Amino acid sequence: MTRTVLIVDDESSIRDMIAIALEMADFQVLEADNAQRALALAVDERPDMILLDWMMPGISGVELARRLKREETTREIPVILLTAKGEEDNKVQGLEAGADDYITKPFSPRELIARMRAVLRRAAPASQGVIEVDGLSINTESQRISIDNQPIDMGPTEYRLLAFFMSHQERAYSRAQLLDQVWGASVYVEERTVDVHIRRLRKALGERHDYLIQTVRGTGYRFSRQRSRA
Amino acid sequence: MTRTVLIVDDESSIRDMIAIALEMADFQVLEADNAQRALALAVDERPDMILLDWMMPGISGVELARRLKREETTREIPVILLTAKGEEDNKVQGLEAGADDYITKPFSPRELIARMRAVLRRAAPASQGVIEVDGLSINTESQRISIDNQPIDMGPTEYRLLAFFMSHQERAYSRAQLLDQVWGASVYVEERTVDVHIRRLRKALGERHDYLIQTVRGTGYRFSRQRSRA
DNA sequence: CAGTGACGTGACAGTCTCGTGACATGCCCC
DNA sequence: GGGGCATGTCACGAGACTGTCACGTCACTG
């Protein structure tokens, strides 16, 4: 699954450099040049991880980290702090603020990505293992979907689509976003293709559960246990 | 059976790298960045194996190895020393200190895992006993497979493949993972070779049991007693 | 209430994956 | 040296998936 990363740094050159590296590693990238915008994006887009510059005019990285950890909706998102080289104090402060790791500039893309993966893995238990909604459960280890413990079959794409939805419930996604997240950022297919796979997924879920995949007219789709309308 | 490994190194980047590799190989990973913590974790968590950096500030790896071998509770835990490139003395000292093997940096993940397996195999008297699923049973002591107490034949590779699957049920593995786990990390063969052995294994199991070896399209294979789809 | 745009759906051809039989090689034991 | 066994590759074919299209249906607008 493609992960979304929010990069927060006031220098655009650094943001761009990181963004390029991450995109090559098949991450989806969001950028913010200040804490305000970062906070908004974090709440709005729910990235899988945030890279945060330590030193920024206005609200500093640490302060932002602290706020992120206070917000209900962003608390679970892992944060990596980017700091100028080696003041030990930084580490302490940063980790106290709730950052999950920190890395000192200059760093190589490889190192950054290695750290990110490590952090994501640690954070994974949230999305790993089993998610269950109304008898429908997905087990990411066995890569299997079951309804009332009865395994059901679907194609790989439908599986990934459902996996994405179940770990991002209650939020509407556009076709373009779904293509990025489920198909991968570097694939080009028609947006309507999403519709077809949605259709296949609904069919696989059966009448009792297809209500979970909801159409958001004019926008895209959403996974939600709340039936809309009576 | 998942094994727990304690990684002791003062550089977090190296720990992370190793941790990633080991987790992909389905090890459970513990980390310590100094000897003190390592000792505590070793006593506390009783890992199945310890990877120890030779050079560390404070108490060195060798010294730690020595202490581990003195402690009653940690004596049996195999230790592999990680050393910088090739001073012969290290080897001697290390082995004298009680290390079970040593490996020089830089090393590939595959190499490391191969060594670890070798050490674990030596250390662990083929225990484990018997696993049984739907009349199919494997006895790791006698290295025998039987169906309803009728011994059945298969090649050594099929045996190892089945043994691996039966101790890691309900989880999907890629061909690459299976090659690492069953063939060994330092062997290079085509991924499709796995398919052929899966085929042979299924054949050996016969129609009544070949459903246990399931294809996960686009990914690899899985051992599960749950049949898909009704 | 007709018009317009968005979405649902069935069909289809191309592509990719996996199952399978055949085969060459290497090894061990007679 | 000659079987016999185990293994790794290959090539081929069946079947599973996928992306598009075309057309029908439905929701909203004015």
Q: Quick one: pLDDT at residue B123?
A: 63
The pair phi, psi for residue B222, each rounded to 5°, is -150, 145
pLDDT tens per residue across all 230 residues of chain B: 678 899 998 877 778 777 877 776 778 888 888 887 888 888 777 888 888 887 777 777 777 887 777 766 777 788 888 876 544 455 555 555 666 776 766 666 656 776 787 677 666 554 557 888 888 989 877 788 889 888 888 988 999 999 999 988 888 999 988 987 888 766 788 899 999 999 999 999 988 999 999 999 999 999 999 887 54
Nucleotides in chain D near protein beta carbons (<7 Å): 5-11, 16-22, 27-28
The partner residue sitting opposite B20, judged by closest CB among A114, A139, A152, is: A114
CA of A217 to C1' of C3 (A): 19
Considering only A168-172, A174-178, B23-27, B215-219, which range has the smallest mean pLDDT?
B23-27
Asked if B229 is an interface residue toward chain A (Cβ–Cβ < 8 A), one would say yes
Contact residues on chain A for B16, CB-CB shorter than 8 A: 114-115, 118
pLDDT of A92: 46
Q: How far apart are the first and last CA of chain B?
A: 30
pLDDT of residue A80: 84
| pLDDT reported for residue A125 | 46
**A3 secondary structure, DSSP code:** P
User: Nearest nt (C1') to A154 (CA)?
Assistant: D17
Selection from B165, B149, B148, B147 nearest residue B157 by Cα: B165
Query: Which residue of chain A has the CA closest to B24?
Result: A121
Q: With contact defined as beta carbons under 8 Å apart, do B13 and A114 qualify?
A: yes
C-alpha A200/C-alpha A102 separation (Å) is 43
The Cα–Cα gap between B20 and A121 comes to 9
Give tens-digit pLDDT for A56-104.
Answer: 777 777 778 878 877 767 777 888 888 775 554 544 454 455 566 667 7
- Please name the fold of domain A130-223: Arc Repressor Mutant, subunit A (1.10.10)
Contacts of A121 in chain B (CB under 8 A): 20, 23
Q: Pairing relation of β-strands B130-133 and A101-104?
A: unpaired
Lowest mean pLDDT among A26-35, A190-199, A220-229, B107-116: B107-116
Q: In A, which residues are within 8 Å of B226 by CB distance?
A: 144, 151
The residue ranking higher by pLDDT, A34 or B126, is A34
pLDDT tens, B173-207? 999 889 878 887 667 888 999 999 999 999 999 88
Backbone phi, then psi, for A85, in 5-degree steps? -70, 140
| Domain ranges across chain A | 4-126, 130-223
Please name the residue ranges forming H helices in chain A.
12-24, 35-45, 61-70, 88-96, 109-123, 156-167, 175-178, 192-205
- Measured over the CA atoms of residue A185, residue B18, residue B162 and residue B176, the dihedral's sign is positive
For B170, the closest chain A residue by CA position comes to: A142
Which nucleotide's C1' is closest to A159 (Cα)? D17
Query: Which of A28-42, A194-208, B54-68 shows the lowest per-residue confidence on average (mean pLDDT)?
Result: B54-68
Strand extents, DSSP E, B78-197:
79-83, 101-104, 130-133, 136-139, 144-147, 150-152, 172-174
First to last CA, chain A: 34
CA-to-CA distance for B114 and B177, rounded, in angstroms?
A: 13
Window 47-66 of B: residues touching A by CB (8 A cutoff) are none
Residues 68-107 of A with CB under 8 A from B: none
The fold adopted by the segment(s) A4-126 is Rossmann fold (3.40.50)
User: Considering only CA atoms, which of A123, A209, A121, A129 is closest in space to residue A163?
Assistant: A129
Cα separation, B17 vs A105, in Å, equals: 19
pLDDT at A102: 67
**Whose C1' is closest to the CA of A203: which nucleotide?**
C9
The reported pLDDT for the residue numbered B109 is 64
Range B4-123 has CATH code 3.40.50.2300: yes
* pLDDT value, residue B202: 95
Q: Do A152 and B20 touch (CB under 8 A)?
A: no
